[in-house]
A and B are shown apart, each in its own frame.
Chain A
Amino acid sequence: MRDNLIKYILGIADNSLILGQRLGELCGHGPNLETDIALTNISLDLLGQTRNYYQYIARLSGNNKTEDDIAFMRSEREYINVLLVEQPNDHFGYVIARQFYYDVFHYLLMQNLQNSSDETLAAIAKKGIKEVSYHLRFSSDWIKRLGDGTKESHQKIQEAIDDRWVYTNELFMKTEADELLINEGVGVNVLDFKEAYYQKVSQVLEEATLTVPDEKYYQKGGKEGIHSEHMGYILAELQYMQKSYPNLKW
């Protein structure tokens, strides 16, 4: 039970860590000051949520394990984030498309996780949902602004929306730990809100005068630890300090 709970929490937390890290790369590189600050603020929220999850996992694990061990000392195959969050920033349209696809999911997940029978997870979700609603507002606004903007911005955001679409379905693939924890009343059944997810996504895209992709081929693997070629580079940067100077503290 404990191992499954840890696995379940990691499945949520690793998404926040890797997306937070991706957004962190944009610090000082945003297209303008306000967006730069917004994206790094979102990154900070995600890393804060990650810390709450990892601290909880550290408590569950015992053996003097710390949040840093979990964040920095695992190998690539031990991270179980979805492929969507590790996709590169490429151009601003890609940053927004990835964020939007994740925010809609994240919001619905937090909404449901608030009712978890696990007190700590419910508490993290109750705090998280308020932050995530700001994220979702930000990314939805940008989808509309770019989609309904100039010819070039429309074309670029449509390109990103189409390319990242193949990663959305993995969000709704249940793992063994998911199944077990759902039965315990701890975990959220993501299939309960799959329809609501695609409805919300379509609604915003249509409002943005964008075409909703109809591709039925999807990518998967992250949840089993099988990542895209980008993951190694992310971890190289993320883990560098702790691997070079073990137990380093700021």
Chain B
Amino acid sequence: MILKKQLIEKELISVLKTVSDPEIPVLTILDMGVVREAREVNGIVKVNITPTYSGCPAMDVIGDDIIKAFDDVGKKATVELTLSPAWTTDWITLEGRKALEDYGVAPPLNPTADKEVLLEEKRMVTCPNCKSTKTVVVSQFGSTACKALFKCEDCKEPFDYFKCL
């Protein structure tokens, strides 16, 4: 179990809350669990974020958005990337999981279940549309690197499932 250390100064939370994942706008970066550290030192806000997927193009945008969000409240900010400990989908908060589901993306299961559903051994992913678990994987890779494509056999809707990492 990786210790989840987050050092975020309370006064900075309101600003960080305004920054979202550009691909999944309902998910704030705090709910994603990518902000490892945010401190104000000598008038400069230092933010440390952990990349989700290695190739996630959203990370560059998130960095720019953080700088802009602080700029909007008259603060200068710098953003650094920390690779270790590696981000895992376990760090998505309960609010984040709820936001994903409301948005139409099925939140990640645990790693064992994830493997079972992607290999079509078990059906456990809940359709975010009708809540049925009669769902099947269409493709292990979806619209972005973090998602797989599923479809629901009850309501017939296709939907994304956020893969475990």
A167-204 residues with Cβ-Cβ distance < 8 A to B are: none
A-B contact count (CB 8 A): 72
Q: Does B94 contact A (CB under 8 A)?
A: no
* Main secondary structure on A side of the interface with B: helix
A52:B140 contact, CB within 8 angstroms: no
Other-chain residue from A37, A48, A124, A130 in contact with B55 (beta carbon distance below 8 A): A48
Using A124-B83, A130-B165 as known contacts, say yes or no to A42 and B141 having CB atoms under 8 A apart. yes
CA of A120 to CA of B85, assembled, Å: 10
The count of residues in chain A whose C-beta lies closer than 8 Å to any C-beta of chain B is: 26
A41 to chain B, nearest CB (A): 4
Identity of the chain B residue whose Cβ is nearest the Cβ of A55 in the assembled complex: B81
A60 to chain B, nearest CB (A): 15
B140:A46 contact, CB within 8 angstroms: no
Q: Chain B contacts of A34 at CB under 8 A? A: 138-139, 141, 149
B129-144 residues with Cβ-Cβ distance < 8 A to A are: 138-144
B141:A128 contact, CB within 8 angstroms: no
Q: How does the 8 Å CB contact mask read for A2-18 relative to B, with 1 for contact and 0 for none?
A: 00000000000000000
Identity of the chain A residue whose Cβ is nearest the Cβ of B81 in the assembled complex: A55
CA of A44 to CA of B23, assembled, Å: 15
- Name which of A131-139, A151-159, A211-219 contacts chain B: A131-139
Q: How does the 8 Å CB contact mask read for A99-127 relative to B, with 1 for contact and 0 for none?
A: 00000000000000000000110111011
B46-65 residues with Cβ-Cβ distance < 8 A to A are: 51, 53-57
Give residues in A with beta carbon < 8 Å to B.
34, 37-38, 41-42, 44-49, 51-52, 119-120, 122-124, 126-128, 130-131, 134, 137-138
- Listed A/B pairs (29) with beta-carbon separation below 8 Å: A34-B141, A37-B141, A37-B143, A38-B140, A41-B141, A41-B142, A41-B145, A44-B55, A44-B145, A45-B55, A48-B51, A48-B55, A49-B54, A51-B55, A52-B54, A119-B84, A120-B83, A122-B84, A123-B83, A123-B85, A127-B86, A127-B87, A128-B54, A130-B86, A131-B53, A131-B54, A131-B145, A134-B140, A137-B140
